Chains A and B, each alone.
Chain A
Amino acid sequence: MEFPEDLRYTEQHEWVRREEHGVRVGITDFAQDALGDVVYVDIPEVGTEVRAGQPFGEVESTKSVSDVYAPVTGTVLDRNAALSDSPQLVNEQPYGDGWMILIEPTDQSEVGGLLDAAAYRAFTARASGEEE
């Protein structure tokens, strides 16, 4: 299970990467593993306003349909159009080509309030009842 050090995380299992033009968002390795084979991803159009803690899209796997939550408030600058034909990218490269949206945050400092890799790793360990 990968928990890249340079990312920030939410308790709803999204990751956030700060980039020059905004923050890139996807779901974590832990999340894709728990969901199983992803078969459909629903993400908003460019220009959509998203609100921290509110669902911005859905991931459908062979097991379930789950909401994906916005880690920060802002506007969608870009979306990963490749996911409509290749939803399996979420499973194959959750932190790379499986990204979902790029958000221009209203408040840059919101990212700082998210979990770091160590905290998220500890959170997932508790969530799956492992003793670590």
Chain B
Amino acid sequence: MTGAPVRNDGPPLAWTLKGLSKAGRRAWTLPALDVPEAELSEGHRRHDPPDLPEVAERDIVRHFTRLSQINYGVDTGFYPLGSCSMKYNPKVAETVAALPGFQRLHPLQPEDTIQGALELLWRLERALCEITGMARATLQPPAGAAGELTGLLIMRAYHQKSGNPRTKVLIPDSAHGTNPASVTLAGYRAVQVPSDARGLVDLGALEKLVDDDVAGLMLTNPNTLGLFEEEIEGIARAMHRVGALLYYDGANLNAIIGKVRPGDMGFDIVHLNTHKTFATPHGGGGPGAGPVAVSPRLEAFLPSPLIAYDEDGDRYFWERDRPDAIGRVHGFNGNFGVLVRAFAYVFGHGRDGLREVGERAVLNANYLACLVRQAYPMAYPGRPMHEFVATARPLKKHGIRAMDVAKRLIDLGFHPSTVYFPLVVEEALMVEPTETESKETLDAFADAMLQVAQEAESDPELLHEAPVTTPVRRLDEAKAARELKLRW
């Protein structure tokens, strides 16, 4: 089996509806006028018709169908984008979210008329707290980065309450770019913690950076190199010794779900990316969900309102009287439809199922790493978890870079892996197969990776030209960035 073919056939393309436009052509006909004609006042009348494409319905349908065929997504093929957990989303979650009882709700309906929806949110919050080992969670943040900011504002509110918000937040040098951005937005200064030779947080260096002006440390575990931070307990002790908090970036929760909980490792704040771990739709600018869960001492600072359950009255309600809350971080109650999908995923799998998700994600990554490591050495010696970072450095002697490998993979029917990230690895290729792929797909992808490595030696020019089978060839990214043409 190989990935989906990239379509480059058919008649010459008119890429835009404008290109298909013919004067006078229409996709509609209006019925004859059967009411009295009324004059528009001069101020409302338009003298020049708008410059819109004039096309038949057939043209519109073919245009958009064609674009959808050229598109590549996880529903058409393997999508091994490291650090992004592009797993296949089970369609049952879509079916559940489309149930009329969920879809036709209004966010301002009285609580008594939406008890089922509130119960779903409450059960999801309980489940996420159990998964993360935290006490309570907000489901409001509409995305992972929004969750980061929410978590950091909670951190700030906590320190502020004890008299001093502090000024610094520590971040490993392998971290996601969103971490320092969120830190800055929350009014803190990001201080980088170096990695050691194993690719893990350098505990000695960390201890030198920790003082009572450090508000916390943001960490992904497994980290962005796909490696488990083995000294997490020592890291937690170093932070807690000075009263600083430990923040868990949930980007890589997929690797440990059901196995070990951030709360048990000493983390105080956890944000989750439902689109990475709980198979809600990914990318495209949303809507998303980035719930934030916290340990008991931070509960009071979570955004308001929180979902709550009154046992005596057997009733779910919004808890609003929370004077220390940081305020709202999103309108209404978060992106409810996304949370319904996450609920379906969590409860569809159950405890054992989620544990198996983590196990298979790690197994798949390690299997694939073993298949390709001869041509693409691992960047660090440790055993990877759910993703691995390899390097295309051996191909440099043929004049081939990680970007060339990525572009050639497109020709071979696969979405490329992540390249040039994490920044601490030269010619990085970061691969995350996720638990949802079959052995056949992993074998086919490994074959493609190895074929590219061979071509680097036998036909480097082909790799410089790649992709050669796509409707659009290699784009000049440098020119696009240097000569920005913005329109809005």
Instruction: Find chain B residues with CB under 8 A from A40 CB.
Output: 481-482
Taking a contact as CB atoms under 8 Å apart, the answer to whether B482 and A39 are in contact is: yes
Taking a contact as CB atoms under 8 Å apart, the answer to whether B393 and A128 are in contact is: yes
Taking a contact as CB atoms under 8 Å apart, the answer to whether A64 and B478 are in contact is: no
- CB within 8 Å of B: which A1-41 residues: 34, 36-40
Q: How far is the CB of B468 from chain A (nearest CB, A)?
A: 21
> Closest chain A residue to B420 by CB distance?
A63
Q: Does A87 make an interface contact (CB < 8 A)?
A: yes
A34 to B420, CA, bound (A): 10
A62 to B477, CA, bound (A): 7
Q: Does A75 make an interface contact (CB < 8 A)?
A: no
Instruction: Find chain B residues with CB under 8 A from A87 CB.
Output: 482
Taking a contact as CB atoms under 8 Å apart, the answer to whether A62 and B426 are in contact is: no
Q: Does A66 make an interface contact (CB < 8 A)?
A: yes
Q: Does A73 make an interface contact (CB < 8 A)?
A: no
Picked from B393, B421, B481, B482, the residue with its CB within 8 Å of the CB of A129 is B393
Instruction: Find chain B residues with CB under 8 A from A129 CB.
Output: 393, 426
Chain A positions near chain B (C-beta within 8 angstroms): 34, 36-40, 60, 62-64, 66, 87-88, 127-129
Most A CB atoms within 10 A — which of B393, B426, B482?
A: B482
Instruction: Find chain B residues with CB under 8 A from A64 CB.
Output: 420-421, 423
Instruction: Find chain B residues with CB under 8 A from A34 CB.
Output: 426
A2 to B375, CA, bound (A): 28
16 more CB-based (< 8 A) A-B contacts, given A36-B478, A63-B419, A66-B423: A34-B426, A37-B478, A37-B481, A38-B478, A39-B478, A39-B482, A40-B481, A40-B482, A60-B481, A64-B420, A64-B421, A64-B423, A87-B482, A88-B478, A128-B393, A128-B426
Taking a contact as CB atoms under 8 Å apart, the answer to whether A62 and B481 are in contact is: yes
Instruction: Find chain B residues with CB under 8 A from A63 CB.
Output: 419-420
Taking a contact as CB atoms under 8 Å apart, the answer to whether B477 and A37 are in contact is: yes
A40 to B484, CA, bound (A): 11
A-B complex: 4 closest residue pairs judged by Cβ atoms: A37-B478, A39-B481, A63-B420, A62-B477
> Closest chain A residue to B396 by CB distance?
A128
11 contacts between A and B (CB under 8 A): A34-B426, A36-B401, A36-B420, A37-B481, A38-B478, A39-B478, A39-B481, A64-B423, A66-B423, A127-B426, A129-B426
A40 to B480, CA, bound (A): 12
Q: How far is the CB of B421 from chain A (nearest CB, A)?
A: 8
A64 to B478, CA, bound (A): 12
Chain B positions near chain A (C-beta within 8 angstroms): 393, 401, 403, 419-421, 423, 426, 477-478, 481-482
Instruction: Find chain B residues with CB under 8 A from A88 CB.
Output: 478, 482
Instruction: Find chain B residues with CB under 8 A from A128 CB.
Output: 393, 426
Instruction: Find chain A residues with CB under 8 A from B403 CB.
Output: 36
A127 to B426, CA, bound (A): 9
A18 to B393, CA, bound (A): 34
> Closest chain B residue to A65 by CB distance?
B177
Instruction: Find chain A residues with CB under 8 A from B393 CB.
Output: 128-129
Q: How far is the CB of A67 from chain B (nearest CB, A)?
A: 9
Picked from B421, B423, B478, the residue with its CB within 8 Å of the CB of A62 is B478
Instruction: Find chain B residues with CB under 8 A from A62 CB.
Output: 477-478, 481
Instruction: Find chain A residues with CB under 8 A from B421 CB.
Output: 64
A39 to B482, CA, bound (A): 5
Instruction: Find chain A residues with CB under 8 A from B482 CB.
Output: 39-40, 87-88
Instruction: Find chain A residues with CB under 8 A from B426 CB.
Output: 34, 127-129
A87 to B421, CA, bound (A): 22
Q: How far is the CB of A56 from chain B (nearest CB, A)?
A: 16
> Closest chain A residue to B192 by CB distance?
A67
A119 to B421, CA, bound (A): 28
> Closest chain A residue to B428 by CB distance?
A63
Q: How far is the CB of B224 from chain A (nearest CB, A)?
A: 14
> Closest chain B residue to A67 by CB distance?
B192
> Closest chain A residue to B483 by CB distance?
A39
A69 to B419, CA, bound (A): 25
A63 to B423, CA, bound (A): 9
A34 to B401, CA, bound (A): 10
A63 to B419, CA, bound (A): 8
A36 to B478, CA, bound (A): 9
Instruction: Find chain A residues with CB under 8 A from B477 CB.
Output: 37, 62
A129 to B478, CA, bound (A): 28
Instruction: Find chain A residues with CB under 8 A from B423 CB.
Output: 64, 66
Q: How far is the CB of A6 from chain B (nearest CB, A)?
A: 28
Most B CB atoms within 10 A — which of A39, A40, A129?
A: A39
Q: How far is the CB of A37 from chain B (nearest CB, A)?
A: 3
Instruction: Find chain A residues with CB under 8 A from B481 CB.
Output: 37, 39-40, 60, 62
Q: How far is the CB of B390 from chain A (nearest CB, A)?
A: 13
A60 to B420, CA, bound (A): 13
A39 to B478, CA, bound (A): 6
> Closest chain B residue to A128 by CB distance?
B426
Instruction: Find chain A residues with CB under 8 A from B420 CB.
Output: 36, 63-64
A107 to B78, CA, bound (A): 57
> Closest chain A residue to B421 by CB distance?
A64
> Closest chain B residue to A86 by CB distance?
B482
